[in-house]
Structure 1
Amino acid sequence: MAGNSSVHDQYRNPLAYRYGSKEMTFNFSDTKKFTTWRRLWLYLAKAEKELGLPITDEQIKEMEAHLDDIDYERAAKEEQEIRHDVMAHVRTFAIACPVAAPIIHLGATSCYVGDNTDLIILRDGFDILLPKIARCIDRFARFAREQKDQPTLGFTHLQPAQLTTVGKRACLWVQELLMDEQAISRAHQDLRFRGVKGTTGTQASFLQLFEGDDEKVKKLDALVTEMAGFSKSYLVCGQTYTRKVDVECLNVLASLGATAHKICTDIRLLASMKEVEEPFEKSQVGSSAMPYKRNPMRSERCCALARFLMSLPANALNTAATQWMERTLDDSANRRMSLSESFLSADSCVTLLQNIGEGLVVYPKVIQRHVAQELPFMASENIIMAMVKAGGSRQECHEEIRVLSQAAGNQVKQEGGENDLVDRIKASPYFSPIHHQIDELLDPATFIGRAPQQVEEFLKSEVEPVLSKYTGRLGGEISLTI
């Protein structure tokens, strides 16, 4: 290739440069990973010193002074030579810390830094996601309250059904987000530290370091676990923490993806009906060929990313199932992609959801027109009851309504006309006893049941307690850069 190589000459993961947030892409960056490795070596040295191993203050201070100044070029050369990423970084850290070099990684195995760092990154990834999910809940909850009284057609089988309200439908979306917040919070709380366990999880090397002192080995594990910000470590593990942990983490993220896909699919369908529209910027182009189009690109993008996110747990499941005995290394390359891409995809989905929730537009007149087209059929039972109260026979009234409904249905389906059932009822002498009641019987507000009350009850009892956990973290709007 002619000319100098640039970033545009190589594949870049769109999740990192196009869709993911700065905080989530940093969470899975080399800087986060390798500076965490160095901090873990520091924690280990501090704990070993505290428990009596001959480690000096000078060695500790030297390590502290070089936690962030990583020579990546040197590390790459070392790894190319020895084919071992952890030892390459041990050597690179040792070059920066010649006094501390003899005690760096003392008694540890590669998974001490590798797996413990992964657990820190998973924990921090959840910490990034949870407030974002709460903001999505908040935005759609506000929308639900604003639209709690707006009657709209309900749909079952994607066919018009009894009326609901725009706000009540939004509560269905919020309910699933609440379930995701709960599941991800639980997965976050369940995370433990691998801790200081040695090559096959037996802590044999540390028992040797401390000359058989079982309590000191246990204390070492507890000290490092606390320094890393965890309250517990896994009491037993092989060389790695069980890959079932990855399964649990990716499953809850995939479930969040299913929620995002459902919400955005609903919005796409409603946009097709011109009832609800996602944010559409003044200069946004909907189609290169059709200038009039207002495509729901945010919702479409969210569905695309969610579909990818939902596919990723299969990697974790297969990896967990094939970890022979204490571990095999066929998990490594897979996890480099599946863990990061799951969190980055989830992060992208909730970013889009928040943006959509902050700018949803409702078109009441379109909704009212659609309601008017279907409501006469749905009002049949109300009209029958009114006729019975006026002295009519239910069976006779049912037949009269059936005949008029069939004729009105033909008018809609075969002639392409409007639903004229109401006009037919008003013109029928049979229904003259209730002609003065027809408009009242067709008031959409009388067909929505307890939907507005359900919205308020749901927001108060289910939503507000969850959002209270995120007080002070719900502000800020999302602006998409692309």
Structure 2
Amino acid sequence: MASTVFDSLLFRDMFGTAAMRALFADEALVGRYLEAEAALARAQAVVGVVPAAAAEAIDKAAKTIQIDYERLRHETENVGYPILPLVHQLSEAAGEAGGYVHWGATTQDIMDTANVLQIRAALELVDADIEALRVILAKLARRYRDTPMAGRTHLQQALPVTFGYKVAVWLSSLDRHAERLAELRKRVLFGEFSGAAGTLASIGEGGLEMQAEYCRQLDLGQPPITWHVARDGIAETVTFLGLLTGSLAKIATDVMLMMATEFGEVSEPFAPGRGASSTMPQKRNPISCELILASAKAVRQHVATMLDGMVHDFERATGPWHLEWLAVPESFILTASALANARFMLDGLVVHEARMLANLGITHGLIVAEAVMMAAAPVLGRQHAHDVVYAACRTAIEDGEPLAEVLKRDAELVKALGGAQAIDQACDPTNYLGLSGPMTDRVIGDRGHA
């Protein structure tokens, strides 16, 4: 029986995706170990350390072996690591060539390389989702570039913005994450083959050439020096996932709040039964947003774990490395969930433009008090204009009057603005959108036309 949400029949597709789970399944992980062992044998044959026939036999065995997982599990629990038990089975499968399996390597060489291979494949999935989200958000930003709505600070209406501007802010963070991912690959996708203490003493002369060929076989970079205990690259990977899911959680928080009955400005895509309540037939809960938020919170905890796990002792750590076995797979699976839910939610997001416009009017002009102040400032001076409009706002709030009507009773202000009509114009929220449109255009660029 499953015991976590990651392998639960009920919850696994809410907290992950099948594609990402497959990359981190036991069979896939063991497959990566075998891939690394086979690449090592091939590399050693190229540099003349292992007979070519032996390397061919090891490579064939690695691709055709039927792993006895019960035996592997039992020996792994006993040894504490899976590589020696796996080498036993691979050596047996390779026959006479078995004596050349794992030549000069140490357990962490193979495990680190296998994990990097997993990370590379997982980052490709993440990259594809980021690109898809950027396309979705660009389309939304362009479509709603000029749709006015209330901008809010400290959960109160502040100044008018456009919905397209809000989406463009979301998009800008995804653009930066795409850049981070490209940079991340250059610092993380290295092979590892350095031997017991990292000095390649088991190989000696020609060891670096062998290491280079090993990395070439796997299409990974050759590290400048051993990274057995320098875990910043793996920690950066999970930290990147924390940043990414943090941005998705910001988007989810905005959407979730805008879905509140009192706002009613957007809705998650409708699907029969989705977000339904067991007792309240009218409910349409923000399920995708809730899953994004939960996943992001969990990934953030793994970021802290990975930063703690960077503190290794001497040339081989006693424990911190094991934290990666927990944090890396779960972080990627949770990130996949957040990305999948974000794609579903944003691609079908229902935007209620009329409600956005109506909400702009609920303060009866108070949301553009700054607009009136700035229009009067050239004549009255900025501070005096602030004081006059501030007093008018207090009267409008206490008496429940539209701000424009209160302002029109102030002869000094009417004169400063150039008449009552100018006050009406200054009090129209749609006339005070600032540079929402041009800023949105700067983010969208040439995207979003499709």
- Could you tell me how far apart the structure 2 residues matched to 1:77 and 1:56 are? 33
- 2:118 maps to 121
| Code of the aligned partner of 1:450 | L
| Code of the aligned partner of 1:254 | G
- Could you tell me how far apart the structure 2 residues matched to 1:350 and 1:201 are? 38
| Aligned residues of 1:285 and 1:294 also touching (Cα < 8 A) | yes
The answer as to 2:447 corresponding to 1:452 is: no
User: More displaced, 158-167 or 395-404?
Assistant: 395-404
- 2:56 maps to 60
- 1:416 maps to none
Residues 70 and 376 of structure 1, relative CA distance in 2, 3 Å threshold: same
Residues 425 and 43 of structure 1, relative CA distance in 2, 3 Å threshold: closer
The answer as to 2:35 corresponding to 1:46 is: no
The answer as to 2:158 corresponding to 1:173 is: no
Q: Describe how 1:24-423 pairs up with structure 2 within 5 A.
A: 24-57=20-53, 60-61=56-57, 63-68=59-64, 69-79=66-76, 84-207=81-204, 214=205, 216-237=206-227, 240=228, 242-272=230-260, 273-321=263-311, 323-374=312-363, 376-380=365-369, 405-412=393-400, 420-422=402-404
Deviations 1:184-241 (A, max 9, x none): 221122124243211111111112xxxxxx2x2221111001011113224234xx25
Deviation at 1:343, TM superposition (A): 1.2
Residues 320 and 62 of structure 1, relative CA distance in 2, 3 Å threshold: closer
- Could you tell me how far apart the structure 2 residues matched to 1:84 and 1:404 are? 73
| Aligned residues of 2:134 and 2:171 also touching (Cα < 8 A) | yes
The answer as to 2:6 corresponding to 1:17 is: no
| Aligned residues of 2:20 and 2:122 also touching (Cα < 8 A) | yes
Deviation at 1:286, TM superposition (A): 2.9
Deviation at 1:245, TM superposition (A): 2.0
SS at match of 2:319: helix
- Could you tell me how far apart the structure 2 residues matched to 1:279 and 1:356 are? 6
Residues 425 and 51 of structure 1, relative CA distance in 2, 3 Å threshold: closer
Deviations 1:323-378 (A, max 9, x none): 11001231343221111111111111111111111011111221112211235224
Structure 1 length-normalised TM: 0.82
- Could you tell me how far apart the structure 1 residues matched to 2:126 and 2:313 are? 32
Deviation at 1:305, TM superposition (A): 0.8
| Aligned residues of 2:195 and 2:202 also touching (Cα < 8 A) | yes
| Aligned residues of 1:63 and 1:100 also touching (Cα < 8 A) | no
| Code of the aligned partner of 2:6 | N
Q: What percent of counterpart residues are identical?
A: 22
Deviation at 1:395, TM superposition (A): 11
Structure 1 gaps, min length 5: 1-6, 208-213, 413-418, 468-474, 476-482
Residues 399 and 102 of structure 1, relative CA distance in 2, 3 Å threshold: closer
CA RMSD of aligned residues (A): 3.2
Residues 21 and 107 of structure 1, relative CA distance in 2, 3 Å threshold: same
Residues 375 and 222 of structure 1, relative CA distance in 2, 3 Å threshold: farther
- Could you tell me how far apart the structure 1 residues matched to 2:347 and 2:250 are? 18
Deviations 1:285-340 (A, max 9, x none): 4322222122211111111110111111221122211x110012313432211111
SS at match of 2:338: helix
Residues 58 and 317 of structure 1, relative CA distance in 2, 3 Å threshold: closer
- Could you tell me how far apart the structure 2 residues matched to 1:198 and 1:396 are? 75
Residues 37 and 410 of structure 1, relative CA distance in 2, 3 Å threshold: same
SS at match of 1:231: coil
Deviations 1:241-271 (A, max 9, x none): 5222222111111111221111111111111
| Aligned residues of 1:234 and 1:241 also touching (Cα < 8 A) | no
- Could you tell me how far apart the structure 2 residues matched to 1:285 and 1:51 are? 60
SS at match of 2:283: coil
- Could you tell me how far apart the structure 2 residues matched to 1:21 and 1:373 are? 42
| Code of the aligned partner of 1:293 | K
**Count of aligned pairs between the two proteins:** 440
Residues 76 and 404 of structure 1, relative CA distance in 2, 3 Å threshold: closer
| Aligned residues of 1:115 and 1:241 also touching (Cα < 8 A) | no
Residues 30 and 407 of structure 1, relative CA distance in 2, 3 Å threshold: same
User: More displaced, 50-59 or 186-195?
Assistant: 50-59
- Could you tell me how far apart the structure 1 residues matched to 2:300 and 2:220 are? 29
| Code of the aligned partner of 2:437 | P
| Code of the aligned partner of 1:262 | K
Residues 353 and 395 of structure 1, relative CA distance in 2, 3 Å threshold: closer
Deviation at 1:274, TM superposition (A): 0.8
SS at match of 1:163: strand
Residues 386 and 247 of structure 1, relative CA distance in 2, 3 Å threshold: closer
- Could you tell me how far apart the structure 2 residues matched to 1:229 and 1:67 are? 18
